[in-house]
Amino acid sequence: MIETRVNRLLGVRYPILQGGMFWLATAELAAAVSNAGGFGVVCPYAGIDARGDAVENLRLQMLKIKGLTDRPWGVNLLLDVDLDGVLADCLLQEGARIVITAAGNPRRYTELFKANGIRVLHVVSSVKQALLAEECGVDAVIAEGVEAAAHVGFDEIPLFSLLPQVADAVSLPVIAAGGIADARGLAAAIALGAEGVQLGTRFVAVDENIAHIRYKQAICAAGDADTVVTCRKLVPLRSLKTDFFRRILEMEAAGATAEELRAFIGRGRDRDRRGQIDGDLLSGAASCGASAGLIHEVLPAAEVIRRLVEGYGKIVQRMA
């Protein structure tokens, strides 16, 4: 057993969180994680049609998961989307109990959520951000290193450097994210001061994830050098080295401006959907963490959690 403040805060058996992947964090995935003793997370855009209504989709995802599990689960709220205010209001209306905020200032909704009995976790990528989140009254912070998939912090701090500094700086429970895919990563995170972990890429390559099989297979086939950080003139982004991102690397090497990069990438997160849902790895984006080299097969979500917990126990016994 791994018993920390995160267990008590979230009401879970294991302090293992599933990342709130934009298009992919559906009720079915989150319920599978929660039912296995972890903490599942849904996203308002998960499983939505390309031009669907995010607010109605959030209501649908929350309704679905209530019928799939009686275990604790949460909602991921990105603070850099156009509908964040409407989505926040929807969370209040639908009785959300735990919200993970990211990609913005925690001052925005923390006080409102806390006043309505909602526990708030906030994703940070620096000590400065962690201190701000603590000042704003969040219940825990998720310290995300540059190894993570998708958008990463501008400072690009590796998790092993970031995590102990955040743990030293705040009194809140700290959850580690970025590059963790197995029991060794879990044990290392706990040793460095974390009281829980969040896994994103590992929960892409599971049976319950709606990601296209080509995307899952690409993750399983990736090696240690098959991800790359691009788009530093916009927001740094880690992905697989697909043709799409190789083209971005070429543009950056040639001195492309932020406007030129934005024009190539296109509207919103449509490229992400094309790669992750449609399986178009030529012209679509394929967000992926540096942990991909540790992932070799698609498994049930419950098996991922079982291996994490049992492997952690063996590591602790061996070290003892």
Residues 6 or more apart in contact with residue 7 via CB below 8 angstroms? 13, 14, 15, 196
pLDDT in tens, 252-294: 999 999 999 988 887 667 788 888 999 999 888 899 999 999 9
pLDDT in tens, 15-60: 999 999 999 999 999 999 999 999 999 999 998 987 789 999 999 9
Per-residue model confidence (pLDDT) at position 269: 73
What's the pTM value of the predicted model, to 2 decimals?
Answer: 0.94
Per-residue model confidence (pLDDT) at position 268: 60
Closest CA to 271 of 263, 133, 252: 263
pLDDT in tens, 227-248: 999 988 888 989 999 988 899 9
CB-based contact 160:188 (threshold 8 Å): yes
pLDDT in tens, 81-109: 888 899 999 999 999 999 999 999 999 99
Name the residue with tokens 């498994």: 299
Q: Which tokens is 92 given?
A: 């209040």
Task: Look at residue 128 and tell me whether its pLDDT is greater than 70.
Answer: yes
Taking the C-alpha atoms of residue 13 and residue 32, their distance in angstroms, rounded to an integer, is 14
Task: Look at residue 135 and tell me whether its pLDDT is greater than 90.
Answer: yes
Q: How far is CA 104 from CA 6, 130, 188, 192, 248, in A?
A: 23, 12, 28, 26, 25
Mean residue pLDDT of the chain comes to 94
Per-residue model confidence (pLDDT) at position 212: 96
Q: What is the DSSP code (8-state) at residue 172?
A: S
Taking the C-alpha atoms of residue 260 and residue 308, their distance in angstroms, rounded to an integer, is 43
Task: Look at residue 170 and tell me whether its pLDDT is greater than 90.
Answer: yes
Percent pLDDT > 90 in the chain is: 82
| Cβ-based neighbour number of residue 112 at 10 Å | 14
Closest CA to 188 of 160, 155, 220: 160
Per-residue model confidence (pLDDT) at position 187: 97
Q: Give me the domains of the chain, ranges plus CATH numbers.
A: 5-210+294-319 (3.20.20.70), 213-291 (no CATH)
**Coil, strand, or helix at residue 300?**
coil
Closest CA to 161 of 127, 211, 195: 127
